[in-house]
Structure 1
Amino acid sequence: MATSSINSTNSSTSSQVSTDVYNRVQQTMASQTSAAAKLNASITKDQTKLSALGQLQSALASFQQIAAGLTGNGLSTSAASSAKTMLTASSTGTAKAGTYAIDVKQLAQGQFLTSDEFDSATTKIGAGATTTVKIDFGAAGGGKGFVNAAVASKTITIDSSNNTLDGIAAAFKAAGVDVKVVKGDDGQYSLSIAGQPGAANSMRISVSGDAALKNLLAFDPDGAQKLKQTSAAMDAILTVDGKEIKSASNTIKDTAIAGATLNLTATGKSDVTIAAGAGQIGDNLKALVSAYNDLNAKLLKLQKGDLKSDTALNQAISQMSMLLKTGGGSVSVTKLAAAGLSQDKDGNLVLDDKKLQAALAADSSAVSRLFTSDDKRGIADLLSSKAASLTSTNSVLTKETTLTSNEITSLNGKKATMTKALTAQANALAALYTAQAQTGAGSALTAGTGKGTGTLFDMLG
């Protein structure tokens, strides 16, 4: 007789049941599994939205960085790398003209930890006793004490409501730690924990409570390690004209070259050339137009896809576009058009190079003031400020992201509870149906017509 397996919630073992019994369990629980499917669909929908909101945040932040670099004296200054596959550079206008020799010896990276593997992401781990997980951040080794006082420790509680891989990952995420449940090629599930870049952001995880969770999660970079470290937290290390610089991030602003930002992508050597003069204005305006059009393309893609009708996205599209249509009340749109800048029907910026070069030849300072001014009222100033406000702590985007993240945590908690209940019910049904098959008893739902046998609900009660 063919058999299937239904797992127990309280044991790693499973009892073998016939295919007929398995199919009867599925049929009886159809309505409950439908509810579970709807819950899973809601989680997937929210996760998709959260990812899309992250893409929106990233797109706005990337544009803001470029726009901010072209304000002030940055509009007439450029920074170029001789090896763009290794690093890119931008100038804010205060960098001194010249060529700088850069040697990137090491990129910054975050610590990466993985856990033991399990057959399921919803398997209960341990007895469910309340367990406290504390994560400290600091630099491993060195003998100067581990804790980085600049980064607050995080405390996470695990109990019977979330002592599964899914539950643990949700609890860590709620505390601001990047954790994912990963399914390997062999079908096994494990936790993947990613730390922030920088040597001082190494994680030390201490666990008090359930022994099984301690054996799963405890990690001391200078001591006992239950989690496996696949990469250590490291700083970026580079030299600028022979002087060594260390950075927790691969984006290095001002400290490597004053007035310039370096974005490191690979190790190796490159020369960075800083150039200044009115001739740079045209090239920098083209860079601004290109950056804005990249942003606009991303916004439109999200609007047609994962963020259709989303409030934060629509706000970003309308407010950025409105600045270009009105000049923010401080910039003449007519003068912008005369300098060659306009918008097409899709909201993209169009730069007429002939008009631009003619305007620059006539009065490059006047063109520059259209885009950036001492009172920060040029169109580049306004676009940079608007992008920053759209991603600020109090922005609609940030609030939406927080609400969506909290909803995912809540839904994962409901999923864990539902999984436990449905698994218990499925096991009870399997036991009942198997017993009936062996004894030739009556209906699966009534357990026969004899008195005192009891119903399925009596058994589950």
Structure 2
Amino acid sequence: MATSSINTATTSGSSTLSTDVYNRVQKTMSAQNGAATKLNAALKADQTKLSGLGQLKSALSAFQTLAGSLSGGGLSTSASVSSKSVLTASSSGAAKAGTYALDIKQLAQGQFLTSDAFAAADSKLGSGALSTVKIDFGTADSKGFTLNGSTASKSITIDSSNNTLAGIAAALKAAGVDAQVVKDEDGKYALALNGASGAANSMRISVSGDAALKSLLSFDPDGTQKLKQGAAASDAVLTVNGKQLTSASNTLDKAIAGLTLKLTGTGKTDVTVTQDASQIGSNLKSFVSAYNELNKKLQALQKGDLKGDTALNQTLSQFSTLIKSGGGVSQSALAAAGLGQDSNGNLVLDDKKLQAALTSDAGALSKLFTNDGRGLADLLAAQAGSLSGDSSALKRETTLVSKEITSITAKRSSLSKALTAQATALAALYTAQAQTGSGSAINGSSGSAGTLFDMLG
């Protein structure tokens, strides 16, 4: 009898099954695919939604930071840098005039991992058995691996539908992990994972299920490392006027109050902050650009990962209402200063009207946007904070979806164990029947103790 090379358990201790037995097991087990398919679909949908909610929170946070930093004298300050190869600085907040000495000792970077190389990106890897790739995030140092409490672990399902380099990369991307297939100088393909920057974003990767995938993807900073690490996750390290700071990102908005610093290299530089009324126009344009970036992201999420989502719809509605009403800020004054809105909900700024308003009364113009919490930028910053805060619909949905993912993952694990046990029993039964020439395993035969499913309990 011909044999199959697919590894599975048998009662004889052999590592292979006959093709006939394997096909019979596969045919009988195919009826069980529905439950697994539903769980996989539910998990993928929840992972997609969680990723979308994370993108929404990130977009709101970025806009809140810029809009909130326009408070006080932030509209009229400017910043210059003595060494632009080290960093750039923009003033969008209440930075105090003066000179700040900075020394950039180390840039933040993300962990970079690569797999073994293969001849093709679409070649099947392993048997295609249902497998789970779990990625934990934390800090890897001499003390061991410490989980990052603010970043939830991710679980990615790999089976016969996506057990290729390209399929694994796509599944990782869908779960919010930056992964891609790269081609080396020898023309071979490998999986590459780029972690988020910051020492607390190191990855620990474990695999349950297919042994081939475990051998390909496992990475434990304290143990087995099948993936190769090209770069370790690290924080940016710098001093500001002699005080040392660390940051998971190379963009810092709290190192100097009211300034946004973007680190580009290591070395020393001075940042000088001055009061400059002409900066008002430039910062208003940055504010409009930031709002439009937020609106673009909201529109994309509405058409994609968060279509019909309550938290997103609430965000769109509240921002739209605030922009159209002005929130107590004179609409006619805003229009006279050149601020309007197009049909897509984007803010538009008429430069001629803006310059005229600046020439006429720069102080009055500034108060339209920042005025002890009552300006348009103040109100929008507060709205962004409220929509992403601890009592927001966004927070509640994120918590709920995270719990659902945990529950589904547990159910998938239980189902996987049950199906494995059933397949093992089927293989043993069919192998025994093949050796004795007994009757049908599914329907039973005369004199049998019952059907297959009676035997399985």
Which residue number corresponds to residue 15 of structure 2?
15
Alpha-carbon separation, structure 2, partners of 1:182 and 1:119: 22
Alpha-carbon separation, structure 2, partners of 1:233 and 1:419: 34
Deviation at 1:355, TM superposition (A): 0.6
Asked if structure 2 preserves the Cα contact closer than 8 Å seen for 1:89 and 1:260, the reply is yes
Instruction: Tell me if 1:445 matches 2:442.
Output: yes
Alpha-carbon separation, structure 1, partners of 2:22 and 2:80: 66
Instruction: State how 1:60-209 maps to structure 2 within 5 Å.
Output: 60-79=60-79, 87-91=87-91, 93-97=93-97, 100=100, 102-108=102-108, 140=142, 197=198
Asked if structure 2 preserves the Cα contact closer than 8 Å seen for 1:78 and 1:284, the reply is no
- Structure 1 pair 436/183, CA: closer, same or farther in 2 (3 Å)? farther
Alpha-carbon separation, structure 1, partners of 2:450 and 2:190: 40
Normalised to the residue count of structure 2, the TM-score between the two structures is 0.73
Deviation at 1:413, TM superposition (A): 0.2
Asked if structure 2 preserves the Cα contact closer than 8 Å seen for 1:106 and 1:267, the reply is yes
Normalised to the residue count of structure 1, the TM-score between the two structures is 0.73
Matched residue SS, 1:226: coil
Instruction: Tell me if 1:332 matches 2:330.
Output: yes
Alpha-carbon separation, structure 2, partners of 1:104 and 1:301: 36
Asked if structure 2 preserves the Cα contact closer than 8 Å seen for 1:235 and 1:246, the reply is no
Instruction: State how 1:365-376 maps to structure 2 within 5 Å.
Output: 365-374=363-372, 376=373
Which residue number corresponds to residue 59 of structure 1?
59
What amino acid does structure 2 have at the position aligned with 1:19? T
Deviation at 1:77, TM superposition (A): 1.5
Alpha-carbon separation, structure 1, partners of 2:356 and 2:178: 58
Matched residue SS, 1:370: helix
Which residue number corresponds to residue 274 of structure 1?
273
Which residue number corresponds to residue 417 of structure 1?
414
Q: Deviations over 1:309-355 (max 9, x none)?
A: 11111111111111110011x20111111110010000000000001
Asked if structure 2 preserves the Cα contact closer than 8 Å seen for 1:119 and 1:188, the reply is no
Unaligned 5+ runs, structure 1: 125-134, 157-161, 167-177, 205-216
Which residue number corresponds to residue 311 of structure 2?
312
Deviation at 1:203, TM superposition (A): 11
Which residue number corresponds to residue 396 of structure 2?
399
Alpha-carbon separation, structure 2, partners of 1:153 and 1:45: 24
What amino acid does structure 2 have at the position aligned with 1:287? S
Deviation at 1:114, TM superposition (A): 11
Which residue number corresponds to residue 453 of structure 2?
457
Give the ranges of 4+ consecutive aligned residues of structure 1 lying more than 6 Å apart after TM superposition: 82-85, 110-115, 118-124, 135-139, 151-154, 178-189, 192-196, 201-204
Deviation at 1:14, TM superposition (A): 7.1
Matched residue SS, 1:247: strand
Alpha-carbon separation, structure 1, partners of 2:418 and 2:113: 31
What amino acid does structure 2 have at the position aligned with 1:24? R
Asked if structure 1 preserves the Cα contact closer than 8 Å seen for 2:71 and 2:94, the reply is no
Alpha-carbon separation, structure 2, partners of 1:425 and 1:398: 41
Alpha-carbon separation, structure 2, partners of 1:180 and 1:9: 37
Alpha-carbon separation, structure 2, partners of 1:42 and 1:237: 42
Matched residue SS, 1:393: coil
Q: Deviations over 1:176-224 (max 9, x none)?
A: xx998999999999xx99799358x9999xxxxxxxxxxxx998x9xxx
Which residue number corresponds to residue 164 of structure 2?
none
Q: Deviations over 1:79-119 (max 9, x none)?
A: 3557778544333544344565644220245789999xx98
Asked if structure 1 preserves the Cα contact closer than 8 Å seen for 2:295 and 2:346, the reply is yes
Alpha-carbon separation, structure 2, partners of 1:120 and 1:235: 38
Asked if structure 2 preserves the Cα contact closer than 8 Å seen for 1:61 and 1:387, the reply is yes
What amino acid does structure 2 have at the position aligned with 1:342? G
**What RMSD in Å do the two structures reach over aligned CA positions?**
4.7
Deviation at 1:47, TM superposition (A): 0.6
Q: Aligned pair count?
A: 406
Deviation at 1:265, TM superposition (A): 4.9
Which residue number corresponds to residue 354 of structure 2?
356
Which residue number corresponds to residue 210 of structure 1?
none
